[in-house]
Amino acid sequence: MINNKKIHTLSVYVANEPGVLARIAQTFSRRGFNIESLVVSPAIDGHFSRMTIGASGSEAGLEQIIKQVSKLIDVLHCTDHTFDEAVVKEMGLIKIAVSAEDRGEALQIAEHFGCKTVDLTDESIMLQVVGDPDKIDALMEMIEKFKIIEIVRTGKVLMARGAETT
């Protein structure tokens, strides 16, 4: 949830063609939705791509967006997975400034959240964390006591549980 707005997670299966992303983004913009995160990756055969879009806006507008996106020429289907049973993951890289005295505490917090240390200098630590977005948010709260230099988050990726396709 961002600023008390529900983040909806949509999966959009599209032809892997130039301009598709622009047309989809325009549909969201026209309806007053903000795209909070976007992950695009090729599907199995390379002719199609899967977009995972995290978007915030009114509940009423979401249904219209799904209908309008589904009508776009290169879109095979658009599905809201916000309340579905799905595996949801995100990856984050977080660089924090730490002194020699604080390094132990920072590494303990990182270990608790299953982080991997991917860079370590005398002045900083870069952590990699993978998990659901709430886990990454909780880590962020715990490391607020250190000076956060930089954060990069991938956005959600998800896959429906069981044998059904996303």
Residues 60-119: tens digit of each pLDDT: 788 889 999 999 999 999 998 877 788 889 999 999 999 999 999 999 999 999 999 999
What are the sequence ranges of the domains in the chain? 7-80, 87-159
Q: Is the pLDDT of residue 2 over 50?
A: no
Give me the DSSP letters along 21-77. Answer: HHHHHHHHHHTT-EEEEEEEEE-TTSSEEEEEEEEES-HHHHHHHHHHHHHSTTEEE
Could you give the angle at which helices 20-30 and 59-71 cross, rounded to 10 degrees? 150
pTM of structure: 0.79
Amino acid residing at 6:
K
Residue 1: pLDDT band by 50, 70, 90 thresholds? very low
| Six token digits for residue 163 | 């044998």
| pLDDT at residue 63, as a whole number | 86
For the chain, how many helices (H) and strands (E)?
Answer: 4, 9
CB 60 within 8 A of CB 21: no
Fold matches, 7-80 and 87-159: yes
Answer whether residue 12 shows pLDDT above 90.
yes
CATH top-level class for 87-159? alpha beta
What pLDDT score was predicted for residue 82?
77
**Nearest one of 104, 155, 158, 106 to 127, comparing CA atoms:** 106
**Which one is the CATH code of 7-80: 3.30.365.10, 3.30.70.3150, 3.30.70.260, 3.90.550.10?**
3.30.70.260
